[in-house]
Amino acid sequence: MKPKILVTEALGPEGLAYLREHSDLTAYDMLPAAELPGMIGEFDAVIIRSAHRITRDLIVDRPRLKVVARAGAGVDNVDLDACTELGIAVVNAPGANAIAAAEHTFGLLLSVMRNIRLGDLHVRHGGWDRQAHLGEELHGRRLGIIGLGRVGRNVARIAHGFRMEVFAYDPYITEDLFQANGAIRKDTLESLLEVSDVLTIHTPKSGPHLTEPLLRLLPRDAFALNVARGGLYDEDAVVRVLEDGHLAGFGCDVFPKEPPNPDAPLFKQPRVVVTPHLGGSTHEALANVGTMTARGVIETLAGITPPNLVNVPIPPLEVPQLTALDRMCHSLSRVFSQLNPVFGSRLILTPGRQVPTESLPWIRQNLIAGVLQNRVDERVNTVNALIKAKEHGLTLTVDENPKAPDALSLNLRWDDQPQSQAEFEWQQNGSGGLHLRQINGISFDLAWPEVALVTRHQDTPGVVGQIGTLLGEFGVNIGNLHLGRRSLGGEAIMVMALDTPPTEALRQSLLNIPGISAVYWFD
């Protein structure tokens, strides 16, 4: 059965087409905000843009709702804390409109510096005074960028095409990213402002607030731009530094309140160019945003980790590596949880030495969620894993052992149950893909199948033959099987790759074979 998804605002044909293919879709160009509370509980996911707010009151006691998506980069209109506590994944579309926003930045800048808006009005009213509308060139100017994220990096690349000298302030990224984008790093905001003939900001709402003392650090006759978030500039301060000539011009696409008051003092300044929040709005950007948002929602509902989850610490990995680790976490936690039903004191995770360190917080949450999912009667997933772990007294410690395998592998065990450990590895060579290395401390080396039947039994003659005979009677074919045991005559584990999933009746029949203590299957 397809999931039900609600789209509250125009999303774009590409995104809607993808959603229609994979879901039962209800879509509006603009759903009245007053109608959303009465509808949201009927859907598995809701996708909003800017006109709606997702608050705690709106989503509490909505057990069906699993995903909230914001078709855009920011999530200021989503209560992230409430979504996280309730295990509701939040998806956005970071970077999908980065090129559009960067290009709009230069559209505003050129309009201000070359007097394009004023010149247009002058000609329309019968004027032709070219001298009065002389502009200034970007060539050779020093551009200061606050925030070298996706938009800021595209701004830097475009600036080089105008032969501008690029400086940037961003305390959260590495020196490599500054060098890769041809930006000279400034370690303080103040030092950036002092060298910026043109200033542009590309940060979230939590970025620096540009007050009058800061704006006066800019060189006289500098230009400033805001194509990021409303409120990052003190608009009253902008008016004052424009009026006394310290600031030569200002381009603004976003405002603290939208739509803004048309009588605002800012709009009376001749060298100010404003647009109605168009930065990320091009046909191409809307298509990218719609598609990225739609894919993120569908993948999340399918149990796949997309790279655009907001309230989960998704590591900055390439998609193939992220997918490999996600599959490994999913299989490891399921196998470990089923074969070790008794809670221990704490979980110990030993990652292989090829597991990226930056992925460990996400892996930790992923595994905790998988272990808890079948043990509690409430929603537990990667989103709220740490909250639920604390409620249930579960801890997971990462043991970055230098003697761990030189592999992309994960080993999980209970601290006080040494024979509980299970281990999977993602192999690039040979048969490739996901491989099982251990179950309950017993060694294996096999490609993990799409359908796996696992038995725990005594290592006595005849048990394996009876299992094969019974599967034949149920019409289930064995692709291959692997056996492991602790000792001769001791506990043994068999893993079978099946062509079709087993039934509950088959599982019960297997349990009736003498010597078999447990049967599990994974598909």
Which pair of structure tokens corresponds to residue 387? 């909250």
Same domain membership, residue 182 and residue 155: yes
Which CATH number characterizes residue 25's domain?
3.40.50.720
- Domain presence at residue 280: no
State the DSSP string of 160-207: HHTT-EEEEE-TTS-HHHHHHTT-EE-SSHHHHHHT-SEEEE---TTS
Residue 431 confidence (pLDDT)? 62
| Three-state DSSP string of 283-346 | HHHHHHHHHHHHHHHHHHHCCCCCCCECCCCCCCCCHHHHHHHHHHHHHHHHHHHHHCCCCCCC
Residue 345 confidence (pLDDT)? 75
Same domain membership, residue 251 and residue 147: yes
Residue 441 confidence (pLDDT)? 85
- Domain presence at residue 44: yes
Same domain membership, residue 403 and residue 304: no
Which CATH number characterizes residue 474's domain?
3.30.70.260
Indicate if the alpha-carbon torsion angle 355, 361, 364, 370 is positive or negative: negative
Residue 277: active-site member: yes
Same domain membership, residue 212 and residue 146: yes
Which parts of the chain register pLDDT below 50? none
- Domain presence at residue 395: yes
Determine if the pTM surpasses 0.85.
no
Residue 432 confidence (pLDDT)? 72
Residue 430 confidence (pLDDT)? 61
Choose, from 62, 246, 277, 486, the residue flagged as catalytic: 277
Closest by Cα among 362, 360, 355, 364 to 309: 362
Same domain membership, residue 304 and residue 266: no
How many Cα atoms are found within 13 Å in the side-chain-facing hemisphere of 383?
26
Alpha-carbon gap, residue 215 to 200, rounded angstroms: 12
Which pair of structure tokens corresponds to residue 457? 């039994």
Residue 229: active-site member: yes
Please tell me the total count of domains within the chain: 3
Interior CA angle at 330 toward 481 and 497, to 5°? Answer: 15
- Domain presence at residue 316: no
Residue 141 confidence (pLDDT)? 98
- Domain presence at residue 279: no
| Bridge partners, residue 184, by sequence | 167
- Inter-CA distances, 240 with 7, 247, 416, Å: 43, 9, 68
Which pair of structure tokens corresponds to residue 114? 């070359």
Closest by Cα among 425, 521, 436 to 484: 436
- Domain presence at residue 202: yes
Same domain membership, residue 351 and residue 220: no
The amino acid at 365: Q
Same domain membership, residue 374 and residue 299: no
Same domain membership, residue 516 and residue 487: yes
Same domain membership, residue 415 and residue 350: yes
Same domain membership, residue 169 and residue 36: no
Alpha-carbon gap, residue 231 to 255, rounded angstroms: 6
Alpha-carbon gap, residue 516 to 506, rounded angstroms: 13
Same domain membership, residue 88 and residue 43: yes
Choose, from 229, 364, 435, 437, the residue flagged as catalytic: 229
Same domain membership, residue 91 and residue 120: no
Choose, from 35, 243, 258, 358, the residue flagged as catalytic: 258
Q: In what order do the strands lie in the sheet with 452-458?
A: 478-485, 491-498, 452-458, 516-522
Closest by Cα among 225, 183, 219, 182 to 200: 225
**Range(s) of the domain holding residue 463:** 321-522
Is 278 strand, coil or helix? coil
- Inter-CA distances, 180 with 101, 156, 184, 194, 466, Å: 20, 10, 10, 23, 63
Torsion of CA 251, 254, 260, 264, to 10 degrees: -30
